[in-house]
Amino acid sequence: MFYESTARNGIKDAFPPVRAQRIDWIKATLEHPTAALSEGWDKTFRQYDATRRVAVVYEDFVVVVAMSLKLDGSLKANFVTCYQVDNSIGKIRTSPVWSLAACLHLPGGTP
């Protein structure tokens, strides 16, 4: 998750120092009580996905997790990615607000 491709071929072969400086930001962003939480964009279906939670706190630093349920019914989050946003922060900040009800498709949430 902290490596990047130097040849843009999908093979992540380099550990960039810039990313290393932000490793601690992931936990801090996920635990921040006032993080801006929004739904993630599903580019395949060209719509927002309530099971993708995007958290933004530090200097437009984004952490994306995929939410699901464990077999025992408890909530689980899988790390997807994190990155420093450049020109798309406006789109992220105007995305639908993430809610647990919508994520779980509960009454009051979007299907």
Could you report the per-residue pLDDT of 22-62, keeping only the tens digit for each? 889 999 999 999 999 999 999 899 999 999 999 998 778 89
Rounded to two decimals, the pTM is: 0.82
Domain ranges of the chain: 34-103
Strand order in the sheet with 36-42: 36-42, 47-56, 61-69, 75-84
Q: Are the CB atoms for 85 and 69 separated by under 8 Å?
A: no
Q: Tell me the mean pLDDT in the region 80-91.
A: 87
C-alpha 10: how far from chain center: 20
The pLDDT mean for the chain works out to 88
Residues 37, 99: Cα–Cα separation, whole Å: 8
Can you read off the two tokens belonging to residue 54?
A: 């995007």
Q: What is the pLDDT of residue 111?
A: 46
Three-state DSSP state, 23: helix
